[in-house]
């Protein structure tokens, strides 16, 4: 099994790469962070002895992805699985963020994801089943004031996943949208969880379980995977209410949480899912 993982040197990317390594899959890792790729490559080779290939790539640039694809084509690599993990968010309300930062959220979370997905789907092993993961978020379930762009970008991924799943069924492509709550992947993420107090902890999913279940679900049937019984319950009831009400409730909670939390600790540009 040949697996391509984007955002592979971030917290969720590394955890999924570990899961693939444990299963004996060969992995092709990409990320914008070349140093991080080198480290996770060493870790995977030492732990599992699998074949690890890495290539630093800026997925938001067509040239960079073209270069990556020509390398892949030169070596005639074909894939059985694509795990779309790369994504980002910047903290702060809409008007407090830089204009370019807001657009970058869409460039990476959406545009880049489509770019690499199309490229890798065209390089799948013909005749074999293909497994395609989109990392959406619990944030995709509602409009989220103060995280408006991020939540909308994750909604986009959720809809793409559900639609492509139907469209590509005949071509033996399984599509899964992963919608986790908080994941304790970075210091910043952990401080964000802490800032939300009880609910932050309660909606946080254990990373090792999420990565194991994600691969298992993807292999089995795809669909939408919301880890955690509490998150599933919240989503179920949230969907019964008018979207405006939910948005108002979320605004109330986030506004309170962000006041207690020093966003200075939050370095922009870190991969967050």
Partner 1 sequence: MKTAVITGASSGIGFATSAELIQKGYHIIGIGHDKTHCEEAEKQLRALSNDTDITFLCGDLMQQREVERIAGEISQLLAERNESRLEVLINNAGCVRSWYTTTEEGYEQQFALNHLASFLLTYRLLPHLKRAQGRVILTGSESHKHMRMRWNDVMLTRGYNPLTAYKQSKLANILFAKGLNERYLGDGITSYVVDPGLVCTDIGCKNTGGLVDWIWSRRKKYGVQPEVPAKTYAFLSETNPAPRELYYHLCKPNNYSCQVTHENADKLFALSEKLCGIQYPSWIQS
Contacts with partner 1, residue ranges (CB under 8 A) = 9, 11, 14-15, 17-19, 21-22, 35-36, 39-40, 42-44, 46-47, 184-185, 187, 190, 193-194, 201, 204, 206-209, 212
| Shortest Å, Cβ 81 to partner 1 | 18
- When the beta carbons of 15 and 173 are compared against partner 1, the nearer one is 15
Q: Of 217, 200, 22, 177, which is closest to residue 85 (Cα–Cα)?
A: 177
- Taking the C-alpha atoms of residue 221 and residue 66, their distance in angstroms, rounded to an integer, is 31
| Shortest Å, Cβ 257 to partner 1 | 15
| Shortest Å, Cβ 56 to partner 1 | 14
- When the beta carbons of 148 and 202 are compared against partner 1, the nearer one is 202
- When the beta carbons of 71 and 201 are compared against partner 1, the nearer one is 201
- When the beta carbons of 212 and 253 are compared against partner 1, the nearer one is 212
- Taking the C-alpha atoms of residue 84 and residue 5, their distance in angstroms, rounded to an integer, is 6
How many angstroms separate the first and last alpha carbons of the chain? 25
Q: Tokens at residue 44, please?
A: 């995977």
| Shortest Å, Cβ 44 to partner 1 | 6
Buried b (16+ CB within 10 A) or exposed e, 132-155: bbbbbbbbbbbbbbbbbbbbbbbb
| Shortest Å, Cβ 266 to partner 1 | 14
- When the beta carbons of 187 and 232 are compared against partner 1, the nearer one is 187
Inter-helix orientation angle 99-106/148-167, to 10°? 20
- Taking the C-alpha atoms of residue 271 and residue 13, their distance in angstroms, rounded to an integer, is 10
| Shortest Å, Cβ 19 to partner 1 | 8
- When the beta carbons of 251 and 261 are compared against partner 1, the nearer one is 261
- Taking the C-alpha atoms of residue 52 and residue 42, their distance in angstroms, rounded to an integer, is 9
């Amino acid at each position: 099994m040949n697996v391509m993982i984007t955002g592979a040197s971030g917290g969720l990317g590394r955890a999924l790469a570990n899961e693939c390594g444990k299963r004996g899959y060969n992995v092709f890792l990409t990320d914008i962070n070349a140093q991080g790729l080198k480290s996770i490559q060493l870790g995977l080779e030492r732990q599992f002895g699998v074949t690890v290939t890495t290539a630093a790539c800026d997925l938001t640039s067509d040239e960079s992805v073209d270069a990556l694809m020509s390398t892949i084509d030169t070596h005639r690599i074909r894939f059985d699985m694509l795990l779309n993990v790369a994504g980002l968010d910047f903290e702060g309300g809409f008007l407090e963020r830089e204009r370019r930062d807001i657009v970058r959220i869409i460039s990476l979370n959406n545009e880049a994801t489509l770019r690499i997905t199309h490229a890798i789907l065209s390089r799948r092993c013909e005749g074999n089943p293909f497994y395609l993961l989109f990392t959406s978020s619990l944030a995709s379930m509602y409009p989220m004031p103060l995280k408006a762009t991020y939540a909308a970008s994750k909604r986009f991924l959720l809809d793409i996943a559900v639609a492509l799943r139907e469209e590509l069924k005949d071509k033996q492509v399984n599509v899964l949208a992963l919608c986790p709550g908080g994941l304790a992947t970075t210091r910043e993420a952990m401080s964000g969880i802490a800032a939300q107090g009880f609910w932050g902890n309660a909606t946080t999913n254990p990373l090792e379980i999420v990565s194991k279940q994600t691969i298992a679900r993807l292999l089995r049937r795809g669909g939408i995977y919301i880890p955690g019984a509490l998150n599933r319950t919240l989503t179920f009831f949230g969907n019964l209410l008018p979207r405006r009400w939910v948005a108002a409730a979320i605004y109330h909670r986030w506004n309170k949480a962000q006041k207690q939390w020093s966003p200075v600790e939050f370095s922009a540009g870190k991969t967050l899912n």
